[in-house]
């Protein structure tokens, strides 16, 4: 159970970092 929770947490963190990177790339592109 704990392993599954850890996996979900890691996945959520990864997805958040991915979104931040994508937003940064969009901003750099529009400049």
Kindly report, residue by residue over 1-31, the tens digit of the pLDDT.
688 888 888 888 787 878 888 888 888 888 7
Classify residue 31 by its DSSP letter. -
23-30: long-range contacts (C-beta < 8 A, 24 or more apart)? Answer: none
pTM: 0.40
């Amino acid at each position: 159970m704990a392993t599954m929770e850890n996996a979900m947490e890691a996945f959520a963190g990864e997805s958040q970092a991915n979104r931040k990177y994508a937003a940064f790339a969009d901003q750099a592109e529009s400049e």
